[in-house]
Structures are given as C-alpha cells and as structure tokens.
Structure 1
Amino acid sequence: MNVTPVTLAKHVPLRRWSVVRKLSARSVAFGLTLITVSYLVLVPLLMLLYASIKSTEEKLPFESTVTTLSNYAAVFTSSSTLPIFLNTLFFTAGSLAIGLPLAILLAWLLERTAIPARAWIANLILVPMTIPSLLSAIAWIQLLDPRIGLVNIVLRSALGMTGDTGPFDIYSLYGMCFVQGLRLVPSAYLMIAASFRAMDPSLEEQSAMAGRGVAQTTLRVTLPIMRPALLAALIYFIVVVIESFDIPGLLGFTARIRVLSTAIYWATHSEVGLPDYGLASALGTIVLAAALLLMWNYQRLTAHQERFATITGKGYRPRQLSLGVWAVPATVLCVFYIFVAVFLPFVMLLWTSVQPFYAPLSAESLGRMSFESYYKIWQESSVVRALWNTMVLALVTSIATILLAVLVSWFVVRRRRQTDGLAHYLATVSFLPQCVPSIVIGLAFIFVYVRFPVPIYGTLWIIALAMTTRYLAFSSRTTTSALMQVHGELEEASQMAGAPWTRTLRRVTMPLLAPAIINVFLWVAVHAMQELSMALMLYNPDTVVVSTMIWSMWQNGRTADAAVLGVLLTGLSALLLVGGHVLSSGVIRTHSGPERDRRKRFGQNVSRCPRRSARAARRFVRSGKR
C-alpha cells in the first residue's frame, strides 16, 4: 500500500504529539514530586537552622535582624545543659541495655529454636505496638508509683517492709529506662527476627558437629553473622530513644528530669516567662546533627550487608534448634515477658478506667467499679472533637503519605537511569525525615507557617503536613522495596497500548503494590493516632486530638478520664490493624490466585511477541477496568 505525503503529514505529527504529551505528564509529575518533597523536608529544616542563629529576645526568630551564635553559647554555657546531656545519654544507654538484649533473645528463641507455642508468643509480643507510649507510661505509673503503685504495695506487704513508699520509684531515670526499654522490644524484635529467620542453619550444624554446644554456637557463629543487622538495629534505636518524648515527658515531669526532647518542649512552653525559640532551635539543631550522623552510619551498615549473606542457591533449609530440657524455662521466660509487658499494663489501664479515682486493688475498690466514665466522656464536646480530629488526621495523613510515597518510589525505581542524579537526590531527601525527631519537626513547622503567608497555622492541616513529612521515609522505603519486585514491562506494555501514564500508574502499578500500600496505610494511621510530640507543638483548642487530650487530662489530675480515652484509642488502633490484616490477606490471596496467573500470562505474551504487546496490553487494561 502506497503512503501519500498527505497521510504522513496527517498522522506523524499526531503521534509525536502523543509521545510528547506522555513524557510531559511524567516530567510534570516528577517536577512536582521533587518540589513537594523538598518543600516538606528541607524548608522546615533550613528555617530551624535560620532560627538558631537569630536573636529571639521577646520576638520570633524571623522578626530579628541580628545574626548571632548566642543561642549556641547559651546552650553550652548553661548550668542545666550538662545534666540534660547526661540524662539523655543515660536514658538512651539504659533503654537500649534493656530493650535490645531482650529483643535479641526473644527473636532467637522464636526463630531459631523449637519452643512450644511459637506462633502465639510471636503474635502476643507485638500487642504493645497497639498501645501508645503515653498510655504505657500511665499504666506503669499506676503499677510502680512509690506510694500507691500496685506492685510496690504487694511487695511491701509480702516482704514486711515498713513505711508507705518503695521499693521501686517509677519517677526516676531507672524507671524511664525500664518503660522505654520494654517499648523498644516489639519493634526491635521485628527488625532482628527477619535476619534470624533468613540465616542458613548449616553453619550452626557444622559448629555442633565440631562439638560446640548451643551457647558456644550462638556466641561464636550466630551472633557474629548477625553483627551488621544488630549494629544497624542499635544505631536505629538510638535515634528512636533520643527522639522519644512521651515517656520522659510523663515520668520525668514529676521528678524534674529533662532530656533533650523534653528540654525542647519546655523551652517553647515555659512555665514562667516567654517561650525561648532561639534556645529550642539550637537544641533542635544539635539533636538533628546527632541523628543525621547516626543515620549516616546506619545507611553505611545496611548498604554492605550482602557481605554477610548466608542464603545461597545451594542447600538452604531453615530449621530450628532443639533446646532439650531448656525448652520449658525458655517458654516460661517468654510468657513472663508477655505478662509484664502486655498483660499488666493493659489490665491496669482497664482497672483505672472503671474507677472514679485511682485506688489499688481491694474489696473496697472492687465495690466502686463503674463504667460511668465511659458514658460521661461522650458528654464532653472537646472529647468528641478530639476523636473526630484524630480520625480525620489519620485518614488524611495516610492518604497523603501513600500518594507521595508511591510517586517517590516510582521515580526512584523507574527513572533512575534517565535522571540518575535527581532520582538519587529524591531518594536521599525522602529518607531524611527518618533522621529528624518528631518534636524537632513540630518546632520547624511552627517557624515555617508563622512566617510564610500560608493560612494553615492553627489548623488541623499543619499537623497533617508535619506527620506526612515525618512518616514519608518509612512509607517511601516500603513502597520502593515492593516496586522493585514488579517488572517494568507491565507498565511499558500498558503505555504502548495507548494508556496514559496516570492511568497506567492507577490501573497497573498501584494494584500490584496493594499489599504494601495497605501496610503503609495501617502503619501511618496507627502512628498518626498515637503521635503526641508533634501534635503538642502544633495544636490549639480547636485542633485537639486524642493524644493531646490524654496529656492534658493527666496533667490536670483526671486519671480515670485519661484511662478511658486511652482504652478507646487502643481499641481503635487494634480494630484498624485487625481490619487491615483481613483486607491485606484478601488482597494477597487475589494476587496469588487467578489474578496473578492472568498477569503472568500477560507478561509472557509481551515478552514472547513484542508485536502483540499493544493488543495484549489493551486487553489487560480493559480487563482491569471490569
């Protein structure tokens, strides 16, 4: 068939315009993603640095025209600075000394040994993640208060001790380390257990054949192989403890024990006088620098873990060790941890919520049990507003974080070759919030939105933006890992069939990422509902959320009401996680059944016959619509 010049003139420009339009959509999306991530992450941090070198006597940082290092001089010359740094160091070291060894031991027992009821114990270990840190601190206050704590009362009676205080005091650095250490265990267990699960047991078998016992094999073979994962976990949780605010804020308030995170808060919420934003900025910058250094080392360690890989293409068969007579003591140890870390705090929280005022367990207090607090709490308009704001905040933050994380992941994974430098920049900046403590992000957002003419300061949206920034690192890393498992030929074939890039992303890419997206949604929603430090820095009476309401109730002596709200918040978190697990299981079954086979056949057709790829892609996209 002869093609006339008129035909060429009519069709070629249209085809070129179509290609340009598709490239333009991707380029615009890439540019907007770069601008959004840079604005959310870098602008607040730059404003924090700017505020730290401005004189802030009776004025805000950006109202001053004087550039000075007096804020840093005040930090390092103040008599209170050294105790704050020492308290932070002790709190960090003590929390890690309790949490990490316990997590390593539990991970080893549940992943490398054949103790009874492993699945049940593993699930129960994760239950504390549904209880906010603030509520854990409240529960342990009721248990270990020097005078009225249940454990102290029982011990004084059992040991015949005189006096009405002791033997334990939760309002101390030791108490703070104990509670924070227990809070670290579930997250540290998840991080470490995966490495134990993946390790080749043949190395341990060879050690056993050489006559080494279980203890020697673990110390000389297992733990050295696990060294990169353990060091990475150590560095990561140092940052987590340094940024922790809930537990030191609640337990340290009574004893006037301040660490870096609480010092930043009290500098901006002074009990006497005006807020000292310059001092808070200088402290925040110091914390930020330390966290950046730690996370840089974390990145270096995780980047070279392949040198310690033990899963190969030969003879890998995961098995558990037999503990013999030690199986029963090991099981008892796991059950004891669950009793202390899960059962006791939650039962104490429930007990406090059904008492008109806190009282230890007795026949008299049993007679005062009532669910009246659960009815009265709904009569307060501020509580209803807090619950509504919390749900809106969790939903908005989750959706915004997912959309931004998917875009970041797509451009980092799919466009790395075309825009290598920009893709690397995007990956680095999107991970940066992992290094920034929540209270520092809250402080930085105050400076940005009080200074810039964006009318969101004092609204719920500024809290949502701050949380989106804070949770972007985890979300983008999760979706990036999932996207790396999806071959790009599915998206390429869809676009060859004429589907726009946005439709391909919506109809092909995101359905394949559905399990990861659901996990990110659940993680972000639960953390947004429990977040305290950022909300405390940015809320007002109209934007109060449940976590700040619990904090205020506790500060005002409304213990029972705080416990009631805590039970409701824990129930919402648990309900969300269970519902998400059911939904995620259904999605995984969908992707592992007929839908997976359909996508697999589509990919095979594309790879075997490129000329048929357009027709196959068109059928694939249409079937997805149906």
Structure 2
Amino acid sequence: MATAVALIPLAYLLLRTGQGGVQAWLDAVATPRTATLATTSLQLALVVTALCLVVGVGAAWLVTRSNTPGRRLFAILLALPLAVPSYVAAFTWVSVADLWAADPGTRFEGFWAGVVVLTLYTYPYVYLPVAAALVRVDPAQEEVARSLGRSAPHTLLTVTLPQVRPAIAGGGLLAILYVLADFGAVSILRVDTFTRAIFTAFSAGFNRQSALTLATLLVLITLVILALEGLTRRAGARFSGTHVTRPARALDLGVWRWAGFAGLSAVVLTALGVPAVSLARWIAAGTSAGDAWDRLWSAASGSLSASLLGALITMALALPVGILAARHPGRLSRSLERAAYLAHSLPGVVVGLALVFFGVTVALPLYQTTWLLALAYATLFLPLGVSAVASAASQAPPSLEEAAASLGTSPASVFRRVTLPLTLPGIGAGAALVFLTAMKELPATLLLRPTGMDTLATRLWSATGIGRYAEAAPYALVLVALAAIPTWIIARRSGILPAAGESERVRPVEVETDSTRSAELLEA
C-alpha cells in the first residue's frame, strides 16, 4: 500500500510522457536547455550536500563529543533552521541583503546565493541523524585507538566516522533530494534548475509535456543517487546502540574549544538571525500587517489540520515498510524502501498534478478534500517516516520478539506488545518530522487545498508575491514558531539533548535492552 502511494506520481509521469512516444521524449531531452538545467541542478545539489556534510557532521561532533561551551543550547539551536521554510529564508535574505547592499541595483540572487541559503536550512538533515548516531556508538573502539597512540583527528577519521557512515549517507541522501526538489528558494533567488523550469512550464508557458519530461529526468537522477547511496550503505558498518553501557568522554579541545564555539555561533546566528531581523523589520515598518493578524487563525488552523492528517497517514504507511526494512533486510525490502524515495525528489507541483489526476480519474470522492492534500503529503514525505521507523526498529533487539514468539504468542500480539512499543520513539520522531515538513510544503498545497481553505504557507506566498512583506511577516512568524515545536521534539527524541539538571557531559541514548525491560515487555 505504501509503495503504491509513493509510486502514484511515477505512474502519472510514465502515462503522460508515454503518450508522446519514446522518440518525442528523446527529442525533448536532447536539447541544450535541458543540459544546462541538468548541470545547474546537479552542481547546486552536490555543492550544497557537500557543505551540509561538512557543517552537519562537524556540528554533530562538536555537540556530542567535545567540550565546546554551550553544547546543551547548541544542540537545539542547530536543529531550529529546519523549521524555516526555504522560501521564507530566501525572502528574508534578499530583504536583508538589499538593505545592506552598497549598490541599490545589486540583488542577492544566483547560484552562490542559492548555495548559501539552501546549505543553512538543509544541513539539519545531516546534523540530526549523525548526532544521534554518535551518541549511540560504543566509545570502546575509540578508546582502544587512542591507547595505541593514534591522535584525536586520526581516531575521528578512521574509527568514529566509519561507525556512523550509514547516518552520514542517509543524511546526505535526504539533503541532496531536498535540494533537487526545492522550488521556493531557487525561484526567489532566480537559480535556473529543474524545479523552477518545471513550475514555469506549468504556470506560465502551459507546456505540460515539457515539464513532465524534465520531471522524468529528475526521477532518473534520483535512481542513480539511490543506487550510489545503497552501495555506500552496504560498504559501511551499521551503527547500533544496543551495546552502549556508558557515555563517551568529551574530548578536551583546549583553547580550540572557543574556535568550535565561534563556528557554531556563526552558523546559528546566520541561519536564525537573518530571518529574525528581517521579519521584525517587516512587522515594525509595515502598514499591512494588521490585515494578516485578522486572518491568521484560519490559516493556522488549515495548516495544523492538514499537516496533522498528513503525518498520521504517512506514519501508518511508513510503519510496515520501516519494520520490514529493519527486521528482514533483503532485495524485496530494499526495493520497497527505495521506491518510497522516488516521489521525494520530485517538485511538489508534479506530485500535486499527479494527485489531481488520481483524484479526478480514480478517487473522485477525495477530490477537493483535505484527505487528498494529506495523501500528497504522505506521497512526498514517506521516506522521512520510513527512515525514522527503520532506524528505531534496527536499534531495538530482535531477541525480545523471538522470545515472545517462542512462548506461543501470535505474530499480531508480538507486533502489538513488543515491536510497536520498541519503535514508538521512532514513530514519534518521524511523525514530528513529517508534520514539520508538511507545514512548509507550498506547491502541492497550492494545487490540492480545498476551495476556500488557506494555510500559512499559501497566505505567505500570496502576500510576498505582490510585495506585501509586512502582511507576509505574521504568517511567516507563526509558521516558524509552530514548526519549531516538532523540531524541538525531533532533537529531544534523537537523544542529543541532555535532560534538564544533567551535567554537560556527553551521554548515550537510553536504549532499553536490559533484562528488566525485557521481562516487562514479555509479561505484557
């Protein structure tokens, strides 16, 4: 069921592009314009992903394994840029850059502007899983390496990072697919990528066939990326928290701890400070903000209801796929898991059109309802739920399920009493991430929202589209504030944030694998 939902956009693409024939598709692909779009899109995705890996892995290591001052505060602040939609970030950066530009005719736009904005608001996709993996890794191997005379940098590169390679590869995969599918930032910053060209072909040029052809190329690129990530996953060791019995010791950086503090502060201030300054200036100086406050509640309720429904549907679909991938690795489970990622690389406008076609031709009662919009969210963000469930299930010891089955418990009871409780942390984190991402989704929401329904994202886009930035500011402020709540939950669930009152020492995630917990689950 989950795979069928994820493949709806692909089926729509194959149906529409297949109507023109293979030769027509080849003629549309083999053009200088397509080559330019592919080059720009890939360059942007690769550069941003590389920088996200540097920032995300570096920040995760400083927060979890060093004595950098303020690690507790940075653990949360470094995750908060995930709550800022890319189009809000782009608007605010353009606004602040225009304010401080020496030449009034100079505008903050282009390839490198896109790199800066997308990196600052995409690196949490790497930071969060890598930080969680570093907390779960048993420090014994690192201590052995240090006892044999290896330096701290050598130990980091040859022992620590190889143990969390799957987390690094998974975070990099989410980052590169997010950049390939992003529409808001590249549109505002005028970076000529596949997504911008697809949206323009649909909305301005009315050239649907050209847009669908470009979308099929995105699918092919995604297949190549998934294949490469799969090779990385098979080559690297899987991390596991089931053997962690004590915390890793924080490395004393000496005077360099202040360099780490300065680096983390620079990332946080640029990622969060620029939107904060810009939004405050819009609200203070604008005259149209009052209109927005009057209509704010209806937009917020629309965002909350649609995103919550989308998160529930997504996690219901992701649960069996994630558990199958973790408990029964093989060609079938790997194929199902990879199929979930295909729609994640497509622009929301393509997924939205596919769901419009699906609603009109197959599920007419769902058309123009919140259910179809929630189904679009599930199609787009299913990989986020699958990865969260699979990660939680892989951390839980299968011996508990085997023991329950050996005592005569039925498979359904084993799932309900043992498997489900063990994966609840992953389900909660995945639901929070899907809810957060659905609140920020723009193109699919514009296409599929029921008539008369507004969300924070659509109201924000409408106001900025006509230059009413003061009116847009309250929507942006509330959207970021609401999105910050699930971001905090995700950071808390990952285990990188020590509980209040604990020391600043690094601690592992609590994985309940002791005999007492085992007995409790089996007795239940």
TM-score by length of 1: 0.70
Q: Deviations over 1:207-254 (max 9, x none)?
A: 7x36x5x566656776677767655544543222111212102221xx
Distance 1:412 1:301 in 2: 16
Q: Deviations over 1:580-617 (max 9, x none)?
A: 889999xx9xxx999x98864356xx6xxxxxxxxx6x
Give, as a single letter, the amino acid of the residue that structure 2 aligns with 1:352: W
Distance 2:474 2:393 in 1: 41
Give the one of 204, 207, 214 matched to 1:283: 214
Instruction: Check 1:261–1:495 CA distance in 2 against 1; reply closer, same or farther (3 A cut).
Output: farther
Does the alignment pair 1:192 with 2:107?
A: no
Q: CA deviation at 1:439?
A: 4.3
Instruction: Check 1:410–1:183 CA distance in 2 against 1; reply closer, same or farther (3 A cut).
Output: closer
Contact 1:295-1:435 within 8 A present in 2 as well: no
Alignment match, 1:459: 369
Alignment match, 2:4: 39
Instruction: Check 1:490–1:389 CA distance in 2 against 1; reply closer, same or farther (3 A cut).
Output: farther
Q: CA deviation at 1:90?
A: 3.4
Alignment match, 1:143: 96
Instruction: Check 1:376–1:437 CA distance in 2 against 1; reply closer, same or farther (3 A cut).
Output: closer
Contact 1:406-1:479 within 8 A present in 2 as well: yes
Alignment match, 1:333: 263
Q: CA deviation at 1:96?
A: 3.2
Q: How does 1:285-304 map to 2 (within 5 A)?
A: 285-304=216-235
Give, as a single letter, the amino acid of the residue that structure 2 aligns with 1:53: G
Alignment match, 1:266: 200
Q: CA deviation at 1:76?
A: 2.3
Q: CA deviation at 1:184?
A: 2.1
Distance 2:385 2:378 in 1: 10
Instruction: Check 1:599–1:397 CA distance in 2 against 1; reply closer, same or farther (3 A cut).
Output: same
Alignment match, 2:506: none
Calculate the aligned-residue CA RMSD, in Å: 4.0
Contact 1:94-1:174 within 8 A present in 2 as well: no
Alignment match, 1:248: 186
Does the alignment pair 1:562 with 2:480?
A: no
Distance 1:453 1:289 in 2: 28
Alignment match, 1:122: 75
SS in 1 for 2:189: helix
Instruction: Check 1:187–1:451 CA distance in 2 against 1; reply closer, same or farther (3 A cut).
Output: same
Distance 1:128 1:103 in 2: 12
Distance 2:51 2:335 in 1: 37
Distance 2:243 2:9 in 1: 47
Instruction: Check 1:544–1:334 CA distance in 2 against 1; reply closer, same or farther (3 A cut).
Output: same
Q: How does 1:376-525 map to 2 (within 5 A)?
A: 376-380=291-295, 384-409=297-322, 416=328, 426-430=336-340, 432-434=342-344, 436=346, 438-452=348-362, 454-484=364-394, 485=396, 487-488=400-401, 492=405, 496=409, 501=412, 509-525=419-435
Instruction: Check 1:238–1:427 CA distance in 2 against 1; reply closer, same or farther (3 A cut).
Output: closer
Higher relative contact order, structure no. (Cα contacts within 8 Å, ≥ 6 residues apart): 2
Q: CA deviation at 1:127?
A: 1.5
Q: How does 1:537-552 map to 2 (within 5 A)?
A: 537-539=447-449, 541-552=451-462
Distance 2:49 2:227 in 1: 19
Question: What is the percent sequence identity of the aligned residues?
Answer: 25
Distance 2:231 2:88 in 1: 35
Instruction: Check 1:458–1:504 CA distance in 2 against 1; reply closer, same or farther (3 A cut).
Output: same
Contact 1:235-1:297 within 8 A present in 2 as well: no
Q: CA deviation at 1:551?
A: 1.3
Distance 1:561 1:217 in 2: 52
Instruction: Check 1:46–1:409 CA distance in 2 against 1; reply closer, same or farther (3 A cut).
Output: same
Distance 1:291 1:583 in 2: 29
Distance 2:22 2:279 in 1: 49
Count of aligned residue pairs for this structure pair = 506
Distance 1:235 1:593 in 2: 26
Q: CA deviation at 1:277?
A: 1.8
Bigger drift between 521-530 and 447-456 goes to 447-456
Alignment match, 2:505: none
Instruction: Check 1:112–1:515 CA distance in 2 against 1; reply closer, same or farther (3 A cut).
Output: closer
Give the one of 315, 337, 353 matched to 2:283: 353
Distance 1:355 1:265 in 2: 32
Alignment match, 1:86: 39
Give the one of 567, 588, 601 matched to 2:519: 601
Q: Deviations over 1:488-517 (max 9, x none)?
A: 257648975xx894x775566544433222
Instruction: Check 1:327–1:512 CA distance in 2 against 1; reply closer, same or farther (3 A cut).
Output: closer
Distance 1:279 1:194 in 2: 42
Contact 1:92-1:238 within 8 A present in 2 as well: yes
Q: How does 1:306-317 map to 2 (within 5 A)?
A: 306=237
Distance 1:412 1:189 in 2: 23
Contact 1:458-1:543 within 8 A present in 2 as well: no
Contact 1:490-1:508 within 8 A present in 2 as well: no
Alignment match, 1:28: none
Q: Deviations over 1:501-536 (max 9, x none)?
A: 4x7755665444332222222111111111123223
Contact 2:311-2:431 within 8 A present in 1 as well: yes
Q: Deviations over 1:454-483 (max 9, x none)?
A: 333333322211111222222133223434
Distance 1:89 1:287 in 2: 10
Q: CA deviation at 1:432?
A: 4.7
Instruction: Check 1:550–1:49 CA distance in 2 against 1; reply closer, same or farther (3 A cut).
Output: same
Which protein is bigger by CA-based radius of gyration? Answer: 1
Distance 1:392 1:105 in 2: 37
Give, as a single letter, the amino acid of the residue that structure 2 aligns with 1:37: A
